[in-house]
Amino acid sequence: MNAAIGSAGVALGLLASVFGVITLAVGIRSHKPLLLRRAGTYAALILVAGLIAAAAMERALITRDFTVRLVFENGSSLTPPLFNFASLWSALEGSIILWAVILGGYIALVAWKFRRRLDDPLVAWALLTMFVVAAFFFALMVGPADPFVSVNPPVGYDGPGPNKLLQNHPLMAFHPPMLYLGYVGFTVPFAFAIAALVTGRVGEGWLVETRRWTLFAWGFLTLGIALGAWWAYEVLGWGGYWGWDPVENASLLPWLTGTAYLHSVMVQERRGMLRVWNLALLCATFSLTILGTFLTRSGVVESVHAFSESSIGAWLLAFFGAIVVVTVGLIGWRGDRLRSPGSIDSPVSREGAFLANNILFGAFAFVVLLGTVFPLVVEALNDDQISVGSPFFERMTVPLGLALLTMMAIAPVLPWRKASMETLGQRLQWPAWFGAAALVGSVAIGERGLGTVAGYGLAGFAAGAAIRQVALATRRQGWRGLVGRTNGGMIVHLGVILIAVGIIASHANVVSREQRLEPGESFTVAGHELALVSVERTDTARTIRTTAAVRVDGGQIYEPQVNTYRVDGMTIPTPSVRTTWSHDIALTVSLGDWPDGPVQIRAVVQPLMSWLWTGALLMGLGTVLAAFPGRRRRPTDPVSGAIGVAEPEPERDPDAEPERAEVRT
Amino acid sequence: MSPRRRQLALSWAAVAVVVVAALAVGTFAADDPTPAERVRSLSSQFACPKCVGQSVQESDAGIAVEIRAEIVRRVQVGQGDGEILGFLESKYPGNLLTPSASGTASLVWALPVAGAVLALAGLAYAFVRWRPRDDVEVDAADRDLVDDALRSRRTGGATSDPGNRGARS
């Protein structure tokens, strides 16, 4: 029953996408607006089809319908409701359903937003592109990743439940959907980029149309990554939040190129430059989301995230290849129209800074991509097994991170076109003192190491520049000084800076120790006394739970646990983590020989972890603020005075120089 | 030099002195790493042989706990970092997380350097190519065009752009 409904949903989705593609293609070719206006119907059908498939699968999961293979393999009568609901995306096929639903949602939103312009070729091509992507994902569900395969369970069968690691923390219910909202969201600007290339309207129009879509996709991706890091921190119990795991890297890659795009797009809107570069960045971002899915779903890399081997890998790789070939081909074809009308006058200018930003983000993405796929490539070519782990990534990315912090300090105060050293010296004076104060303060409280103290100093410098911008804007415009792209962007910067400080501080000062303890014994970590009070075993239907009660500093009791799942004997620790604004204590227990011997307690103490999560929240808030309409400026407005041939102009328009005006305040 | 410029220059000189001094103290007054710090750093440089994608530092598998204990023992008897990692690599080959600087693996270090050189060269080329051209003559007709655009903006465009105007009043 559930399988039949779900399969019907999948079939409907595939049909709607394919017919959508055909209808739009015919409509565009024969210039029939009537056909183009049908797009809305197909978009709605795709969303409905996705919802039917998802609802059928959820119904199967909730009613424990073990005749559906996904439930047979990932359901269990013992799984708590929240994790049972989240089982949808704990399995390969289910995660494709989630992808399809979200894609359907985005397509329907685009069709609705542009409902009066469906016969515009740009919109038609964009929707056609999205229909192709939807057709691909529904085809996956018909072919290699069919979620609704029927099985015949034995009488009285109960399934094993989802991966035990994934039913350990409620964040599991939020991290994947948030990440997917980000991943899939990049389909929209990508589709418009393709449409712009095909129609030849490669000017700035499509950028402006998709500005907010990109921003929200980026915001969701940011929050999704942050939630993933938080999940890792709370669940894995080694005090870390980022392991440079291939799949974590796969989510970081589109974020890096997407961030680069968000910045360089401003150069194009303002100056009409970097057109090819922006298209390439956007297509790279979208294709990297597919590559990321390939890495996660095909089993080529082994990690906690990767699902079991499946033939879906070949499909995803082929799709990735097709995207790259099509976009490179289109960009080559439109090369003549993509020449930029403007030019960069001076490297010391806003556009010069954005270019440097892009180089840094590009280098960051390159290093992460290289470190992730290098072992795969070497193994495929050479049959050698090599590991590329955190030492490589840290050595490569720390200098890039510091350079990015430096750019974050300098870039926001730079005017467009050209800055004099004096302007720069003036505007950066107070941020520089702010940074110097952070540097001196960090040295004074005992931080050591060139990278570490320089990091604090640069974070202070960047924070100073961001605060200066926000302060100037709010003084001039009141609350409006907090909204709009520039001002919201500064709030995002402040969030990034909080995260940077959290990373530097926790990295430089983490203390971890492990100790075998009998109840009544204690040990000391980073000035905290940990006394093991008791170890107790509770039997539940699902697990055998062993809880260690540890008294910290004679006060609070922490209760790290170990759950041994009855169904497969898998042992999953549940750390006990307490967060304060200044530092965190995380305790993990492992059983060792218990109850015949002592248990082992592992304690990790690190400062400023809360800054990471606060920073991520601030980034989300800044994204929302940036999406609000700020002060409007027509992209074609003259924004600076005559250059080069500066002839004295008797009545120059003061409005023509907004950036200079800012200096006077 | 105007007093204001002199003041600015002085301020920047002071910042420079403070920053250099603080960086010097922060860099050279560092203590040697404590044994606990060495253990943590060493155990994050070695992959857990039985796990997937986790270092010895991250894993709670039995073998990872064992290797951590081994590292603690060896740090306590005063072995150097290279010696300890060498021992682990000989016992569990292929688990060093730092790619080696020779052979095929060294490419992973060399490629980013090559990429950086190429990027910088490309950037330099772009700036050279983008330099404002001297050979473009601006004639009266061009100036008229610009003047017209500015004039129409002042009359027609100003009303459509209230935010911009209000911002400065």
B126 and B161 co-located in one domain: yes
Q: Are A360 and A400 in contact (CB under 8 A)?
A: yes
Give the gap in angstroms from C-alpha B141 to the nearest C-alpha of chain A: 14
Beta strand A561-565 with A571-574 is antiparallel
Determine the residue among B6, B11, B19 to mutate to test chain A binding: the one whose Cβ has the most chain A Cβ atoms within 10 Å. Answer: B19
Last residue of a domain, one of B82, B98, B114: B98
Complex confidence, ipTM: 0.77
d(C-alpha A336, C-alpha A226), whole Å: 41
- Listed in sequence order, the residues at least 6 apart from A509 whose beta carbon sits closer than 8 Å to its beta carbon are A447, A606, A607
Last residue of a domain, one of B98, B119, B142: B98
Picking from A387, A425, A602, the nearest residue to B95 by CB comes out as A387
Give me the long-range contacts of A105-110 (CB less than 8 A, separation at least 24): A105/A47, A105/A50, A106/A130, A106/A184, A106/A185, A106/A187, A106/A188, A107/A43, A107/A46, A107/A47, A107/A131, A107/A134, A108/A43, A108/A44, A108/A46, A108/A47, A110/A43, A110/A188, A110/A191, A110/A213
Residues 6+ apart with CB under 8 A from A538: A544, A545, A546, A547
Please give the pLDDT value at position A307: 55
Of A362, A371, A448, the CB nearest to B26: A448
**For residue A289, is pLDDT > 80?**
yes
Q: Are B98 and A240 in contact (CB < 8 Å)?
A: no
Phi, psi of B6 (to 5 degrees): -65, -40
What average pLDDT score do residues A193-218 get? 88
User: Who among B55, B123, B154 is closest to A359 (CB)?
Assistant: B123
Dig out the tokens for A218 from the structure: 């980026």
Residues from chain A contacting residue B44 (CB–CB below 8 Å)? 389-391
* Region for residue A237 given its phi and psi (left: phi exceeds 0; alpha: psi -120 to 50; beta: otherwise): left
Q: Which of B2, B11, B38, B108 to mutate to test the interface with A (most CBs of A within 10 A)?
A: B108
- Are A658 and B164 spatial neighbours (Cβ–Cβ below 8 Å)? yes
In a domain, A142, yes or no: yes
- Phi/psi region, residue B51 (left: phi>0; alpha: psi -120 to 50; beta: rest), is beta
**Per-residue pLDDT, A99:** 94
What pLDDT does B163 receive?
A: 37
Q: Which residues of A171-181 are buried (b: 16+ CB within 10 A; e: fewer)?
A: bbebbbbbbbb
Angle at A467 between CA A463 and CA A469, to 5 degrees: 120
In the predicted structure, residue A519 carries a pLDDT above the cut 60:
yes
Contact A653 B164 (CB under 8 A): no
Instruction: Report chain B residues whose CB lies below 8 A from the CB of A657.
Output: none
Give the pLDDT confidence score for residue A310 in this predicted structure.
Answer: 64
Find the domain containing B53 and state its range. Answer: 35-98
Asked if B66 and B89 sit in the same domain, the reply is yes
Q: Is residue B30 part of a domain?
A: no
What is the span of the domain harbouring residue A110? 1-162
Same domain, B92 and B115: no
CB–CB contact B44 A511 (8 Å):
no
- The verdict on B69 and B91 lying in the same domain is yes
Is residue B138 domain-shared with residue B86, that is, in the same domain? Answer: no
Contact B47 A389 (CB under 8 A): yes
Residue type, A568: D
The residue of chain A with its CA nearest to that of B139 is: A645
Q: Which residues of B touch A645 (CB under 8 A)?
A: 138
B-chain residues within 8 Å CB-CB of A632? 161, 163-164
Question: Mean pLDDT throughout A142-169?
Answer: 85
Which one, of A357, A320, A341, lies nearest residue A275 by Cα? A341
Mean pLDDT taken over chain B: 79
State yes or no: pLDDT of A66 exceeds 80. Answer: yes
Contact criterion met (CB < 8 Å) for A634 and B52: no
> Considering CB atoms only, which of B8, B26, B95 is closest to A449?
B26
Task: Give domain status of residue A485, yes or no.
Answer: no
CATH number at residue B46: 1.10.8.640
- Interface touch A477/B167, C-beta < 8 Å: yes
Lowest-confidence region among A257-266, A303-312, A321-330:
A303-312
Predicted local confidence at residue A531, as pLDDT: 92
Distance CA A128, CA A113 (A): 16
The reply to whether residue A359 touches residue B126, judged by beta carbons under 8 angstroms, is no
Residue A576 is assigned to a structural domain of this protein: yes
Contact A392, B45 (CB under 8 A): no
Residue of A nearest to B129 (CA): A343
Q: Report which DSSP code applies to A77.
A: T
| Candidate from A180-184, A401-405, A408-412, B119-123 with smallest mean pLDDT | B119-123
Q: Do the chains contact at A343 and B29, CB–CB below 8 Å? A: no
B94 and B111 assigned to the same domain = no
Which one, of A529, A545, A640, lies nearest residue A585 by Cα? A529
* Residue written as token pair 């994608």: B53
Tell me, yes or no, whether B1 lies in a domain.
Answer: no
Same domain, B80 and B115: no
Q: A461-511 pLDDT, tens per residue?
A: 999 999 999 999 888 888 888 888 888 999 999 999 999 999 999 988 888
pLDDT at A644: 45
Instruction: Summarize the confidence of residues B73-84 as an average pLDDT.
Output: 90
The shortest C-alpha distance from B103 to chain A (Å) reads 11
Closest CA to A24 of A45, A44, A41, A38: A38
**Amino acid identity, position A518:** E
Asked whether the predicted pLDDT for residue A444 surpasses 50, the reply is yes
Min distance A293 CA to chain B CA atoms (Å): 17
Q: Closest by alpha carbon to A489, among A462, A528, A521?
A: A462
Q: Which of A239, A530, A38, A98 is nearest to B57 (CA)?
A: A239
Q: How many Cβ atoms sit within 10 Å of the Cβ of residue B87?
A: 14
Tokens representing residue A132 in the block: 């192709």
Structure tokens at A446: 């005992």
- Contact criterion met (CB below 8 Å) for A52 and A138: no
Closest CA to A534 of A604, A598, A625: A598
Q: Which amino acid is at B89?
A: E
Residue A389 has pLDDT above 80, yes or no: yes
Report the gap between the CA of A130 and the closest CA in chain B (Å): 33
What is the helix (H) or strand (E) element at residue A616, kind and residue range? helix A609-627
In a domain, B15, yes or no: no
Same domain, residue pair B93 and B111: no
Q: Which chain A residues are within 8 Å of B109, Cβ to Cβ? A: 392
**Could you tell me if residue A599 is inside a domain?**
yes
Domain boundary among B81, B98, B115: B98
Domain co-membership, B60 together with B91: yes
Total count of domains within chain A: 2
- Is A658 within 8 Å of B45 when comparing Cβ atoms? no
Tens of pLDDT, residues B79-104: 888 899 999 988 888 788 888 877 78
Question: C-alpha angle A382/A383/A388, rounded to 5°?
Answer: 90
Q: Examine residue A146 and state whether it is found in any structural domain, yes or no.
A: yes
B141 shares a domain with B118: yes
Domain total in chain B: 2
Which is higher by pLDDT, A301 or A274? A274
Report pLDDT for A324. 93
* Beta-carbon separation of B60 and A573 below 8 A: yes
Question: Which residues of chain A neighbour B94 with C-beta distances below 8 Å?
Answer: 385-387
Q: Tell me if A622 is assigned to some domain.
A: no
Domain boundary among A162, A187, A211: A162
Nearest-by-Cβ selection for A513 from B31, B36, B53: B36
- What is the arithmetic mean of pLDDT over B153-157? 59
d(CA B17, CA A202): 50
Task: Among A119, A141, A162, give the residue marking a domain's end.
Answer: A162
**Cα–Cα distance list, B94 to A23, A137, A169, A371, B133 (Å):** 55, 38, 33, 16, 57
Q: How far is B119 from chain A (nearest CA, A)?
A: 7
- pLDDT at site A108: 96
Read off the amino acid at residue A340.
Answer: S
A22 Ramachandran zone, left/alpha/beta (phi>0; psi -120 to 50): alpha
Name the phi and psi angles at A616, rounded to 5: -65, -40
| Rounded average pLDDT over A125-141 | 95
Q: What's the pLDDT tens digit per position in A335-369?
A: 777 776 667 777 788 888 888 899 899 999 999 99
pLDDT in tens, A216-227: 999 999 999 999
Q: Using the predicted structure, report yes or no on whether residue B159 has a pLDDT greater than 50.
A: no
Shortest distance between the Cα of A443 and any Cα of chain B, in A, equals 6
Task: Tell me which chain A residue has its CA closest to the CA of residue B60.
Answer: A590
| Smallest Cα distance from A433 to chain B, Å | 6
Place of tokens 């739009």: A24
Q: Do the Cβ atoms of A363 and B95 come within 8 Å?
A: no
* Total residues found in chain B within this entry: 169
Say if residue B77 is in the same domain as residue B125: no
Q: What is the pLDDT of residue A303?
A: 53
What's the gap in Å between the CA of A198 and the closest CA on chain B?
Answer: 27
Q: The tokens of B99 are what?
A: 């790619």
Number of CB pairs < 8 Å for A and B? 197
Confidence label for A633 from pLDDT (cuts 50, 70 and 90)? low
CA distances to A147, A172, A417, A547, A589 from A544, rounded to whole Å, are 31, 22, 67, 10, 14
In a domain, B2, yes or no: no
Contact A245 B53 (CB under 8 A): yes
Quick check: B154 pLDDT over 70? no
Give the span between the Cα atoms of A246 and A375, in whole angstroms. Answer: 10
Whether B6 is covered by a domain: the verdict is no
Q: Are residues B114 and B62 in the same domain?
A: no
Q: Are strands A571-574 and A557-558 parallel, antiparallel or unpaired?
A: unpaired
Distance from C-alpha of A655 to C-alpha of B167, rounded to nearest angstrom: 10
Query: What is the reported pLDDT for B31?
Result: 77
Choice among A97-111, A245-259, A555-569, B136-150 with the minimum mean pLDDT: B136-150
Helices (H) and strands (E) in chain B, counts: 7, 0
Residues of B in contact with A345 (CB under 8 A): 130, 132
